Amino acid sequence: MNKNHYVAIMAGGIGSRFWPMSRTHFPKQFLDILGIGRTLIQSTFDRFLRFIPRENIYVVTSEEYRNIVAEQLPELDMDNILCEPSRKNTAPCVAYIAYKLNEINPDGALICAPADHLILDEKAFNKVCLEALDFVSKHKALITLGIKPATPNTGYGYIQYDQQSVSDNVYKVKTFTEKPNLELARTFLASGDFLWNAGIFVWQVKNIVHAFEKYLPEMAELFVAEQGRLNSEEEKEAIGRIYPQCTNISIDYGIMEKANNVYLIPSSFGWSDLGTWNSAYDNMDKDYLGNAVSGDNVMVIDATRCMIHGRNDKLYLLQGMDDYILVDTKDVMLICKKEKEQEIKEYVGEVKRNKGERFL
């Protein structure tokens, strides 16, 4: 393994589109969504441990999840669990690990990846990551992994890239487009030069720090002001001063869409961001009527293409339902048409307005 390679697993989100299973106090990255015996963050850790030194694996999460991370990843040194005092999107999260590592090893190559993605072909994933790490170690480049789209999905961002490679399997990025409507997504798919944005980034530490200085200078100044404290006993207090002043912005908006040295590696390794119940449905075993069932006591009669996630201590009998999501927890049951899954986040907002925080 290369001691110059690092990874930051980003694990601070609340996964609201996976409500009611994913809750603010215990979000989806800490759940075994697919029933495989390992939670999403455990699977992500296992994946990177195959080619990144254990001591170079960091988790950036919310302060309230520190103990959950420690419990689920006992192999991880507590000093490698970096806790954000508040949620400010992915740019401050990336800045935290980048400026921390910049004091230790500015020439290090860093992967920043979400904790809650599914990757089926881990051998192919490892190969692509190592190719990206090698490229950024030799070039002043910011790399993102692009996924070859299977459908005109409106739940993903898209990346357009030049068709002429600059190196083996590395291409210059032309444009980023946030979640398009269906018609535009179909156009992207037909064009052949758009990929899904996986949200997995690779760069040399000093180069992403330079990008912060150029494109998010106010945020960069906050971290520079605390230089020397990010690897000391004063780190928590320093981050506590930095975060309230940070802009709430994604790394995509803040840097990737502005920088002129962004490159892409087209990838195919069985990826899903597991962002919605439909993505879980797509990756679960199904019965002969197309129902994906999780739960010991679920019966279906003339029900088709449903996503059912039930409790083991309750009997469920579904009749005549087609293309529905049914998720039951101890205090919430969700019954929703699958075609409305992108609106679950809005439904959670309605619950908060009408019922407060109790069911979130």
User: Per residue in 249-289, pLDDT tens?
Assistant: 999 999 999 999 999 999 988 888 777 888 888 888 899 99
pLDDT at 21: 84
Pairing of strands 5-11, 109-114: parallel
Higher pLDDT residue, 138 or 1? 138
Rounded distance, CA 184 to CA 279, Å? 21
pLDDT at 294: 85
% the chain with pLDDT above 90: 62
End-to-end CA distance of the chain: give it in Å, rounded.
42
Band (14; pLDDT cuts 50, 70, 90): confident
pLDDT at 19: 87
Rounded distance, CA 132 to CA 263, Å? 10
Rounded to two decimals, what is the model's pTM?
Answer: 0.89
Q: Calculate the alpha carbon distances from 75 to 2, 72, 78, 81 in Å.
A: 19, 9, 9, 11
- Judge: domain 5-272, CATH 3.40.50.970: no
What is the mean predicted confidence (pLDDT) over 83-107?
A: 95
pLDDT at 315: 95
Rounded distance, CA 248 to CA 89, Å? 6
Rounded distance, CA 13 to CA 250, Å? 12
Mean pLDDT of the chain: 91
- Candidates 167, 177, 143; CA nearest to 259 is 143
Angle between helices 90-104 and 205-215 (to 10 degrees): 130
Listing DSSP states for 145-189 in one string gives: EEE--SS--TTS-EEEEEEEEEETTEEEEEEEE-S--HHHHHHHH
CB atoms within 10 A of CB 188: 21
Query: What are the tens digits of pLDDT across the range 213-262?
Result: 999 999 999 999 998 899 999 999 999 999 999 999 999 999 999 999 99
Q: Which two tokens stand for residue 129?
A: 């990551």
pLDDT at 277: 86
pLDDT at 304: 94
Lowest mean pLDDT among 2-16, 170-184, 226-240: 170-184
CATH 3.90.550.10 range(s) for the chain read 5-272
pLDDT at position 180 over 80 = no
Higher pLDDT residue, 243 or 37? 243
Lowest mean pLDDT among 97-111, 170-184, 314-328: 170-184
pLDDT at 298: 92
